[in-house]
Structure 1
Amino acid sequence: MRGHTEPDVPLTSRRAVLAAAGTLLGAGCLGLGGDSVHVLSAGSLATTFEDHVGPAFESETGTELRGEYFGTNALIRMVEDRTTVPDVVVSADATLLRDRLAPDWDVTFASNSLGIGYSPDTAFGEALTSGDGPWYDLVTDLDSGEFAIADPDLDPLGYRAVQAFKLAEREHGLDGFRDEVLETAYREPEEPQLMAGVETGSTAAAVVYRNMAIDHDLPFYEFPPAYNFADPSLSDHYATATYTTDEGYTATGRPIVYSATVYEDAASPAAGRDLVQFLADSGQLLVDAGLTVGDTLPTAHGTTPEGITV
């Protein structure tokens, strides 16, 4: 979905709140044996995998999907440190996956859009819905901690929020806007909890991907194309905003693209390949979950193994 979503037309869906964030199942029992596949995935896909992909994949193959969900930076650290050994790694930033883990191959299978997920019952939500002011004025009027972003040192969603603030600052002539927002924004370390915080009232709004708001049946205010990271034709423009993590990795602004690969030390590599192929073949299922699958997806990067056809 391209362009700006009017605030009085909330984007909602049929499901669902994950009861817990982060680790959903103990890593020690995951990926051991041919009847399950252990997925270490970006937190923004938690509901997508648990409620959509997992049940459909098990129905088709008889293989249970068992997932853990974290910010992509954090899960890559886990793989690098061998804190967990997954069968499949799924990143919310394909370039980050390639830069940090350097897999021989990966498959990009979906994209997304950045904006604000919010509670319609707060003063902020009412103002945004009624169009009482531009989002950037409404955000700067919030008290400290009422507006949340993912931790940019743990998660592409976090550093994309920071990059979006910078691009919005330029787009709208808002001198110092990025720094002003970051001074008061709460940084959520567990990505799946961003919308849960909005639901419970601990925050009024959060910068999230479109599907995350849909997962929680809450309205979504999509940023304009200039900073929603959804338009591949604006890649050069997005690249003018960067963020350097606390580990020294400099992320350049780029379109949102999800990518999956089978980890080199996977306990169930065949099941992992089956899942990656399933993601590549399940465009409509992913769209139903709130993601975007454009004409250029899926796409293979590198030399894919036997069993992967894109």
Structure 2
Amino acid sequence: MRGDDDRSTASRRAVVAAIGGLGLGAGCLGSDDRVQILSAGSLAVVLEDHVGPAFEEETGIAYEGEYHGANAVMRMVEDGSKHPDVVISADVELLRDRLYPDHADWDVEFAANEVGIAYTPETEPGARLEDGDPWYDVLEDADEGELAISDPDLDPLGYRAVHLFELAEREYGLDGFRDAMVERAYHEPNEPQLLSGIEAGNRACAVAYRNMAVDHDVPFLELPDAYNFGTPEYADRYAEASYTTDEGYETKGSPTVYNATVRRDADRAEVGQQFLSFLLENRTLLEEQGLRRGESLPRAHGELPEGIEP
């Protein structure tokens, strides 16, 4: 039986998705005793519904989160339109390429994810995925708009979908598969809303992260390690795929790892460091939401401030 807590969580998720599209902060608490987070959209639910409230309860510091595709996050920091304390990316190299050295000189990798296909079994493509048909055949047969991907020019999940299509084209001899999938898929510009079409019955499937399927309680088709961008041993294979964004940023396939930093000119740098310490110490908050924290994580890059222990 779904009680008031479930309805409250669902309502909060809807608010997160809506404000993500509007580019507004989730907290708006109006207190100096707060931490402001600008994060990759795939972590919207885990941060807003789980990590943020737990941090507030333990520290008494208000949590304010804003969520967009990681490319958009970096651009907001670069152009000065946003001034977060903590920046979180879904692609470690993206953060380092875009924010070092002007806005940061260290970061910490804290969680990993994997790419798969979220779907609804009530549709023909979803039913075929449920029955075990090859995923690439199902996507190739899907009608225009039945498949959703995040916008590859705005965030890593989008360009990882393109990388996935490229690897599949090469492996299975699917001539033109990559370009056909990119053209046929609906490009969701607001990453936190990627699965809303599946929940509403408007989309059949979407290339998504595992934790997003957990967040929204929708079926998730796991892909082989060679294609899921979740296995470090396949890093060289992932790197065979590439995509260049409309800003001219060339991406290479890579394992899905999240990293975070405190912005060099943050108004509340000490509070930002306190939040990162909390994030690193409370691994179960991430693992329970479908993220990975293997033996190699967390991992430091650069010289971390005193008090942040990976």
- Assess if the C-alpha contact under 8 Å between 2:25 and 2:64 holds in 1: no
1:53 and 1:35 map into 2 onto residues whose CA distance is 17
Task: Tell me the equivalent position of 1:165.
Answer: 165
- Assess if the C-alpha contact under 8 Å between 1:44 and 1:209 holds in 2: yes
- Assess if the C-alpha contact under 8 Å between 1:37 and 1:87 holds in 2: yes
1:31 and 1:80 map into 2 onto residues whose CA distance is 25
Distance 1:240 1:278, change over 3 A: same
What is the one-letter code of the residue matched to 1:229?
Answer: F
Task: Tell me the equivalent position of 2:110.
Answer: 109
Q: Deviations over 1:116-143 (max 9, x none)?
A: 1111211111111122x21111111111
Higher relative CO (Cα under 8 Å, sequence separation at least 6) belongs to 1
Q: Are 1:252 and 2:252 matched, yes or no?
A: yes
Task: Tell me the equivalent position of 1:127.
Answer: 128
In the TM superposition, 1:73-92 aligns within 5 A as 73-92=71-90
Q: Are 1:60 and 2:97 matched, yes or no?
A: no
- Assess if the C-alpha contact under 8 Å between 1:31 and 1:38 holds in 2: no
SS of equivalent residue, structure 1 residue 109: strand
What is the one-letter code of the residue matched to 1:90?
Answer: I
1:114 and 1:194 map into 2 onto residues whose CA distance is 13
Q: Deviations over 1:204-247 (max 9, x none)?
A: 11100000011001000122111110110111111111111111
Task: Tell me the equivalent position of 1:4.
Answer: none
Distance 1:16 1:295, change over 3 A: farther
Distance 1:134 1:234, change over 3 A: same
Distance 1:186 1:24, change over 3 A: closer
Displacement of 1:59 after TM fit?
A: 1.4
What is the one-letter code of the residue matched to 1:55?
Answer: P
Task: Tell me the equivalent position of 1:3.
Answer: none
Task: Tell me the equivalent position of 1:44.
Answer: 42
Specify every segment of 5 or more residues in structure 1 that has no aligned partner in the other structure, as ranges: 1-13
Percent of pairs with identical residues: 57
Farther-moved stretch of structure 1 (147-156 vs 115-124): 115-124
1:65 and 1:298 map into 2 onto residues whose CA distance is 22
Distance 1:266 1:279, change over 3 A: same
Q: Deviations over 1:52-90 (max 9, x none)?
A: 101111111111211000000011111111111001000
1:170 and 1:96 map into 2 onto residues whose CA distance is 25
- Assess if the C-alpha contact under 8 Å between 2:71 and 2:156 holds in 1: yes
2:27 and 2:142 map into 1 onto residues whose CA distance is 44
TM-score by length of 2: 0.91
Specify every segment of 5 or more residues in structure 2 that has no aligned partner in the other structure, as ranges: 1-5
Farther-moved stretch of structure 1 (158-167 vs 280-289): 280-289
**Greater helix share, structure number:** 2
2:52 and 2:80 map into 1 onto residues whose CA distance is 24
2:249 and 2:80 map into 1 onto residues whose CA distance is 20
What is the one-letter code of the residue matched to 1:58?
Answer: E
What is the one-letter code of the residue matched to 1:19?
Answer: A
Displacement of 1:35 after TM fit?
A: 2.1
- Assess if the C-alpha contact under 8 Å between 2:26 and 2:66 holds in 1: no
2:10 and 2:236 map into 1 onto residues whose CA distance is 36
What is the one-letter code of the residue matched to 2:130?
Answer: T
- Assess if the C-alpha contact under 8 Å between 2:31 and 2:62 holds in 1: no
What is the one-letter code of the residue matched to 1:59?
Answer: E
Q: Are 1:278 and 2:278 matched, yes or no?
A: yes
1:189 and 1:197 map into 2 onto residues whose CA distance is 13
Displacement of 1:265 after TM fit?
A: 1.8
- Assess if the C-alpha contact under 8 Å between 1:118 and 1:205 holds in 2: yes
Displacement of 1:177 after TM fit?
A: 1.1
